[in-house]
Amino acid sequence: MKTKPAQLLETLERIRDLPMVVIGDLILDRYIWGRVERISPEAPVPVVDVRRVEDRLGGAANVAHNLRAIGAKVSLCGFIGDDDEGKQVLALLEKEGIEKEGVMVDRGRPTSLKTRVIASRQQIVRIDREKKEGLGAAMREGFAAFVQTHLSGARGIVVSDYGKGVISEPLIRKLAEARAQGLLKINERPLVLDPHPANYSIYRDIPIVKPNRKEAEAAVGFTIVTRENAALAGEVLLKLWNSDMAMITMGEDGLVIMERGAKEPLFLDTMAREVFDVSGAGDTVTSLFTAALAVGASPSVAGELANIGAGIVVSEVGTVAATTEKLTAEIRRLAS
User: What are the residues whose beta carbons fall under 8 Å from the beta carbon of 243, sequence distance 6 or more?
Assistant: 206, 207, 208, 209, 237, 260
Burial of 133 (0-12, 13-18, 19+ CB in 10 A): exposed
User: What are the residues whose beta carbons fall under 8 Å from the beta carbon of 62, sequence distance 6 or more?
Assistant: 27, 29, 56, 280, 283, 319, 321
Question: In the prediction, which pLDDT does 51 show?
Answer: 94
Given the residues 29, 194, 277, 283, select the one marked as catalytic: 283
| pTM greater than the 0.85 cutoff | yes
Active site residue 29: no
Cα 307 to Cα 8, 16, 251, distances in angstroms: 12, 19, 10
Tally of residues, the chain: 336
Question: In the prediction, which pLDDT does 133 show?
Answer: 84
Which domains, and CATH codes, for the chain? Answer: 5-26+58-111+132-335 (3.40.1190.20)
Q: Residue 291 CA to chain centroid, in angstroms?
A: 12
Do 91 and 143 contact (CB within 8 A), yes or no?
no
Tens-digit pLDDT string for the chain (336 aa): 677 899 999 999 999 999 999 999 999 999 999 999 899 999 999 999 999 999 999 999 999 999 999 999 999 999 999 999 999 999 999 999 999 999 999 998 999 999 999 998 889 999 999 988 888 889 999 999 999 988 989 999 999 999 999 999 999 999 999 999 998 988 889 999 999 999 999 999 999 999 999 999 999 999 999 999 999 999 999 999 999 999 999 888 889 999 998 889 999 987 756 655 566 788 999 999 999 999 999 999 999 999 999 888 887 776 778 899 999 999 998 888
CA–CA gap between residue 181 and residue 11 (Å, rounded): 28
CA–CA gap between residue 286 and residue 159 (Å, rounded): 9
Name the pairing type of β-strands 122-129 and 112-119: antiparallel
Q: What digits encode the pLDDT tens for the residues 174-225?
A: 999 999 999 898 888 999 999 999 999 999 999 999 999 999 999 999 999 9
Q: What digits encode the pLDDT tens for the residues 230-267?
A: 999 999 999 999 999 999 998 888 899 999 988 899 99
Name the helix (H) or strand (E) containing 49.
Answer: strand 46-59
DSSP state at residue 200: T
Per DSSP, helices labelled H in 16-164 are: 60-69, 84-96, 137-150
Question: In the prediction, which pLDDT does 313 show?
Answer: 87
CA–CA gap between residue 325 and residue 130 (Å, rounded): 34
